[in-house]
A and B are shown apart, each in its own frame.
Chain A
Amino acid sequence: MNKKRFDKKLYAEGLRQLRVLGIVFLGISALVAVLNSVGSWISLLSIGQEELKGTLPVMVSASDMMPFIQLSFLLFAPILSLKMFHFLTDRKSSDFYHSIPQTRACVFLSFFAAIVSWLLMIVLGQAAAAALSRIVFPGFFRFSAAELLRSCLSAAAAGFYTAAAAAIACSITGTAFSNVIVTGLLIFAPRLILSAIVGSVSSACYVMVPEKLSFFFNNDYNLVVRMLSNFLSQRGTTAFSWGPVLYTAVLGALFVLAALLFYRKRRSEAAGFAAPNALLGAVYRLTIAFIICLIPISLIFGSIVKGTKLDVMDRFEIFVLYLIAVIAFYLYELIMTRKLAMLKKATLSLLLLPLLNVLAIVLMVTAYRSTIRFRPAADEIRAISVYDNTDTAYFLGQSEENYFEAQAEKLLITEPAAVKAAADGLAQTLDELDEINQGHYRGDRYSLTIGYKTQTGKTVYREVRVSEAQYDTILKGMRALSEYKEIYTKLPDDSATLSLALYAGKMDAAARSRLYEALRRDAAAMDFDSWIGILRGEIFSIDTLHVTKTENGTTSSFNVPITPELPETFRVYGQELQTDNAKQIEELLASVKRVESVRLSAAVPMDTYMVSASLQGSVFSAGSGEALQFQQTYQIGSSWYPNEETAHALLDILEKSKDNDLTGGRIYLLLGASTELWGVEAYNEYGYWEQILVAVDTDLTPEEFAQQFLWGKKR
């Protein structure tokens, strides 16, 4: 590489200077990962070897393995960057690095490469420690190395971005405190301001669809914001996709370029000053104050567009927040300069704050008016596309789209009646906007996201509340398209882009694939309306298959209930479940019998242990649409006694279930059987639970069966 841009020796020097911090961070990360693994192992051991049989190895996700991966980019990466470029905050060190015989670009890039290297070592070291510490407990855990690497990639991209932000901060400020403040502002302020403005406009403007504005407005694209909000909201990780990784990495690269530019332009004499010039100083102060102003801006904007007057409390709130903004403005200056005289100088730039507020409000009002101005007549619309929000009953995952709806949304409906209904629906929604803003919801309206492709070729998305008739007309137009049915009935078959998960049943990946293949056959063979009914969850189910498709950086998913209405799927489900659980059922039976023997044993002091066995679940028949729930707990050592007759009858059922192929039954039993042992003194609780599906060939109705075998009688 050109020595004007990069120098190996300087890079090595950078690595050396970050060595202590890097090793400490690597050590913390690895230790957390190892302790987490050991903790999980101890937790599994505490359940008891007997109960664990059949459930091991436990599948662990990357987020479970590296629970504090966020630290690497939220804390470690910026700290490494701040430490590396700390020399810019002191005059003598700044002069030294500006005097050395390397170009400024070379110094910056070599040192930044050292930061990135340590970041990668920390992230990969954490992943390696997490993986190795799971591997050393053979038979307990299994994990996906690919998922672990994808998680590392996301963390590295996010860390690259935060390290670059800190590098910019170091290049444009000259004290440690201002470095930290400006780093925080660079990482969070743009997204915060953007989200607040878009949020305010869209909450006042029902028809606006923020997700359809541009990927730029989607917070999930910023991995730092996304992973932080996931962590804070305990959401767990969202599915990996390339879009956010690329977006964050590109943003990081732009930050690096900006930092490089600022570093090259930086004057050594700026060291020790919070801002290298008065203009930048004003920008920092105003940004902090402006963030506080976002709430009053939102209130004022809301009042303007809704045509309502601000009440006394609102006005007081606005006054207080503006006061806080002004205090923050001066406080920042005071902390940075420690000179009261500077406050007077700073006052001039404070005059820009109201101007910025006015600009923001004008921008928001303009965006609002521009949004509601879009009211095309039917003949101005070439086609529409529809995202049916009413179909999302089984849509889980907060950042994922519903697969079918996302696919159907690509369909262009040109049927004139549907187009007219969509145009009328939008006009009607706009007319009712005031009503909607005041929180008056009408039960006879259906919510749809409609894309209006105008005659000019431009597509504009609007959230529309249509009447039932309009809804039917639009859906009729959509369902009339042959591609529409195909989307719903021809399930995706590209296994490389699919991820399958069951909510209740435990199956390995191969079994889940076989289940999905059966589902694809059922979906292709079924009557369309019945299939839609099943997808909407209008039937009792014993489990749910969650299918996630990731393609071209976009993730969408759908859920399918496992129900006897899907005969092939249901059969395969039962088979796979029983095959997988065959050994576990043996253990369960052994466990239940053991509990009985404990009860009968006089050797166990009754005041020391309380032992229980419970059976709970549902009884249902195919097509019944609902199930009879039951729960029966047998407690030993308390005033309750088991119905031995019933218990034995159920044990017989469990015995038979091992060979059951689920084809001959007329009613089905979904059993969750468990045993629980409590050590009173230690307050320990051990549980073992297994779900078993049993087909019963009997002339009894579900009610009669439940009455006879399950509900039992208390003595």
Chain B
Amino acid sequence: MIETRDLVKRFDKYTALNGINARITNGCIYGMVGSNGAGKSTFLRLVTGVYRPDGGEVLIDGEPVFDNPAVKSRLAFVPDDLYFLNSASMRRMARLYASIYPGFDWNRFDFLAQSFRLDPTRPIATFSKGMKRQAAIIMALSCRPDYMFFDETFDGLDPVMRGLVKGLICEDVADKKATAIITSHSLRELEDICDHLALLHEGGVILESEVQDLKTALFKVQLAFLEPFDRSRFAGVDLLHYQQSGSVANLIIRGNREETVEKLRRLEPVLLDVLPLTLEEVFTYEMKKLGYSFDDVLGREEESHEQKAV
């Protein structure tokens, strides 16, 4: 289990992480989302023992990570900015990893290189950005780690490779009870793979929950009445969002779906539709309730990029 207590990291006067508490149980895939500068990479560097915390502590299975080879030998970290030796091939890098990680599995390395269709003797410098990322993932997975950390790893991977990597991560988690922490800007990248999600903003976790809970805890209802009405008609319902346009109202509700729908049905609406929410919508409304704007937290720019892409 990974546990952080009041984790603080500062860079000069800038506080990158401000008292983060997290418990990540074994055998889960933990997603972290947040905009640039939210502290995702810093969190991963602290958890993998690259950085020394300025406050609080990081424990893996009850042991501190920093400068602790016994713990670090069970970790593999794929950072956003990848490191390869100058003019090294994948095989040369594998030799480096093999000399560092006691559990490095050459068979798995060969198997993965073949699966990803990468030539292990070719200089990595000649690889495309995506191929380099694949090479780094191969190295990490060949170490047979108990804990895997991926920082923006899916960026630059094509959908096929993304699926392959996700499959490999899931396989390790399922077979070995390994634990993975994956960070991303994009919630959509994570929602189909993560068990848990945490939202980081300005060095703090503002939301953390199991994905399944998030998805079932909120739902959207569209209602229409013949007679005039307003928000007060829904007293007793935990409304996260209310929007009315003429005789039609859209409600985002938290609570037990069946009980709430039954309660609303008793108000005799002429229209009552229960609609599922995407994870992104769930986050949007949850954060609004906490006083944050989703666009601000995950970055309006990213949103607009995604819209363009659509």
B81 touches A268 (CB 8 A): no
A13: which B residues are within 8 A, CB to CB? 95-96, 99-100
A99 touches B72 (CB 8 A): yes
Partner of A98, one of B50, B81, B85: B50
> Most chain-B Cβ atoms within 10 A of its Cβ — which of A9, A95, A99, A267?
A99
Q: How far is the CA of A98 from the CA of B48 in the complex (A)?
A: 9
A102: which B residues are within 8 A, CB to CB? 69, 72, 100
Partner of A99, one of B50, B81, B102: B50
Partner of A101, one of B11, B50, B85, B100: B100
B81 touches A91 (CB 8 A): yes
Q: How far is the CA of A245 from the CA of B51 in the complex (A)?
A: 39
Q: Known: A10-B99, A13-B96. Contact between A99 and B49, CB under 8 A?
A: yes
At the interface, yes or no: A17 with Cβ under 8 Å from chain B? yes
Contact string against B for A residues 459-472, beta-carbon threshold 8 Å, 1 for contact and 0 otherwise: 00000000000000
A100: which B residues are within 8 A, CB to CB? 72, 100-101
Q: How far is the CA of A106 from the CA of B72 in the complex (A)?
A: 14
B100 touches A10 (CB 8 A): yes
Contact string against B for A residues 78-109, beta-carbon threshold 8 Å, 1 for contact and 0 otherwise: 00000000000011110110111111101000
At the interface, yes or no: B302 with Cβ under 8 Å from chain A? no
B67: which A residues are within 8 A, CB to CB? 103-104, 264
* Smallest CB gap from B96: residue in A: A13
Q: Which residues of A contact B (CB under 8 A)?
A: 3-4, 9-10, 12-13, 16-17, 90-93, 95-96, 98-104, 106, 264, 267-269
* Smallest CB gap from A11: residue in B: B99
A267: which B residues are within 8 A, CB to CB? 51-52
> Most chain-A Cβ atoms within 10 A of its Cβ — which of B74, B99, B101?
B99
B51 touches A101 (CB 8 A): no
At the interface, yes or no: B182 with Cβ under 8 Å from chain A? no
**A15 to B: closest C-beta gap in Å:** 11
A103 touches B69 (CB 8 A): yes
* Smallest CB gap from B79: residue in A: A95
Chosen A-B contacts, 26 in total, with CB atoms closer than 8 Å, are A12-B99, A13-B95, A13-B96, A17-B85, A90-B83, A92-B82, A92-B83, A93-B83, A95-B50, A95-B79, A95-B81, A95-B83, A96-B79, A98-B49, A98-B50, A99-B50, A99-B72, A99-B77, A100-B72, A100-B101, A101-B69, A101-B101, A102-B69, A102-B100, A103-B69, A269-B51
Contact string against A for B residues 82-114, beta-carbon threshold 8 Å, 1 for contact and 0 otherwise: 110100000000011001111000000000000
* Smallest CB gap from A98: residue in B: B50
Q: How far is the CA of A12 from the CA of B96 in the complex (A)?
A: 10
A16: which B residues are within 8 A, CB to CB? 95
B94-137 residues at the A interface, CB under 8 angstroms: 95-96, 99-102
At the interface, yes or no: B45 with Cβ under 8 Å from chain A? yes
B45 touches A268 (CB 8 A): yes
Q: How far is the CA of A95 from the CA of B47 in the complex (A)?
A: 13
* Smallest CB gap from B69: residue in A: A101
In the A-B complex, list the 3 residue pairs whose CB atoms are closest, starting with the nearest.
A101-B73, A101-B72, A9-B99
Q: How far is the CA of A104 from the CA of B68 in the complex (A)?
A: 9
B50 touches A9 (CB 8 A): no
At the interface, yes or no: B75 with Cβ under 8 Å from chain A? yes
B100 touches A268 (CB 8 A): no
B79: which A residues are within 8 A, CB to CB? 92, 95-96
A269: which B residues are within 8 A, CB to CB? 11, 51
Q: Known: A4-B69, A9-B100, A13-B99. Contact between A99 and B82, CB under 8 A?
A: no
Q: How far is the CA of A686 from the CA of B70 in the complex (A)?
A: 73
B81: which A residues are within 8 A, CB to CB? 91-92, 95
A104: which B residues are within 8 A, CB to CB? 67
* Smallest CB gap from B99: residue in A: A9
Q: How far is the CA of A10 from the CA of B82 in the complex (A)?
A: 20
> Most chain-A Cβ atoms within 10 A of its Cβ — which of B50, B82, B101?
B50
Interface size on B, residues (CB 8 A): 27
Q: How far is the CA of A99 from the CA of B78 in the complex (A)?
A: 10
- B interface, by DSSP: helix, strand, loop or mixed? loop
* Smallest CB gap from A96: residue in B: B83
B256-284 residues at the A interface, CB under 8 angstroms: none
Q: Which residues of B contact A (CB under 8 A)?
A: 11, 45, 48-52, 67, 69-75, 77, 79, 81-83, 85, 95-96, 99-102
Q: How far is the CA of A522 from the CA of B247 in the complex (A)?
A: 132
Q: How far is the CA of A99 from the CA of B81 in the complex (A)?
A: 13
**B308 to A: closest C-beta gap in Å:** 30
**B69 to A: closest C-beta gap in Å:** 4
B82: which A residues are within 8 A, CB to CB? 92
* Smallest CB gap from B98: residue in A: A9
Q: How far is the CA of A90 from the CA of B79 in the complex (A)?
A: 14
**B40 to A: closest C-beta gap in Å:** 14
Q: How far is the CA of A92 from the CA of B52 in the complex (A)?
A: 16
B69 touches A106 (CB 8 A): yes
B100: which A residues are within 8 A, CB to CB? 9-10, 13, 100-102
Q: Known: A92-B82, A92-B83. Contact between A101 and B45, CB under 8 A?
A: no
Q: Known: A106-B69, A267-B51. Contact between A101 and B99, CB under 8 A?
A: no
A92: which B residues are within 8 A, CB to CB? 79, 81-83
Q: How far is the CA of A5 from the CA of B83 in the complex (A)?
A: 25
Q: How far is the CA of A92 from the CA of B85 in the complex (A)?
A: 11
Q: How far is the CA of A405 from the CA of B73 in the complex (A)?
A: 65
**A186 to B: closest C-beta gap in Å:** 25
**A5 to B: closest C-beta gap in Å:** 11
Q: How far is the CA of A12 from the CA of B72 in the complex (A)?
A: 20
* Smallest CB gap from B72: residue in A: A101
A91: which B residues are within 8 A, CB to CB? 81
Q: How far is the CA of A52 from the CA of B292 in the complex (A)?
A: 96
B11: which A residues are within 8 A, CB to CB? 269
**B49 to A: closest C-beta gap in Å:** 6
Besides A17-B85, A101-B71, 12 other CB < 8 A contacts?
A: A9-B99, A9-B100, A13-B95, A13-B99, A16-B95, A92-B82, A99-B48, A99-B49, A99-B77, A101-B101, A101-B102, A264-B67
**B235 to A: closest C-beta gap in Å:** 53
* Smallest CB gap from A4: residue in B: B69
* Smallest CB gap from A86: residue in B: B86
Q: How far is the CA of A135 from the CA of B181 in the complex (A)?
A: 65
* Smallest CB gap from A97: residue in B: B83
A268: which B residues are within 8 A, CB to CB? 45, 50-51
Q: How far is the CA of A3 from the CA of B99 in the complex (A)?
A: 13
**B218 to A: closest C-beta gap in Å:** 38
* Smallest CB gap from B80: residue in A: A92
* Smallest CB gap from A93: residue in B: B83
A95: which B residues are within 8 A, CB to CB? 45, 50, 79, 81, 83
* Smallest CB gap from A87: residue in B: B83
**B207 to A: closest C-beta gap in Å:** 27
Q: How far is the CA of A13 from the CA of B71 in the complex (A)?
A: 22
* Smallest CB gap from B101: residue in A: A101
Q: How far is the CA of A9 from the CA of B72 in the complex (A)?
A: 16
* Smallest CB gap from B71: residue in A: A101
Q: How far is the CA of A664 from the CA of B101 in the complex (A)?
A: 86
A106: which B residues are within 8 A, CB to CB? 69
B102: which A residues are within 8 A, CB to CB? 101
B74: which A residues are within 8 A, CB to CB? 101
Q: How far is the CA of A12 from the CA of B95 in the complex (A)?
A: 11
Q: How far is the CA of A10 from the CA of B102 in the complex (A)?
A: 12
**A272 to B: closest C-beta gap in Å:** 12
B83: which A residues are within 8 A, CB to CB? 90, 92-93, 95-96
B96: which A residues are within 8 A, CB to CB? 13
**A93 to B: closest C-beta gap in Å:** 5
Q: How far is the CA of A99 from the CA of B83 in the complex (A)?
A: 12
B45: which A residues are within 8 A, CB to CB? 95, 99, 268
B50: which A residues are within 8 A, CB to CB? 95, 98-99, 268
**B28 to A: closest C-beta gap in Å:** 22
**A270 to B: closest C-beta gap in Å:** 10
A264: which B residues are within 8 A, CB to CB? 67
Q: How far is the CA of A93 from the CA of B93 in the complex (A)?
A: 13
Q: How far is the CA of A100 from the CA of B70 in the complex (A)?
A: 11
Q: How far is the CA of A200 from the CA of B77 in the complex (A)?
A: 57
Q: How far is the CA of A13 from the CA of B95 in the complex (A)?
A: 9
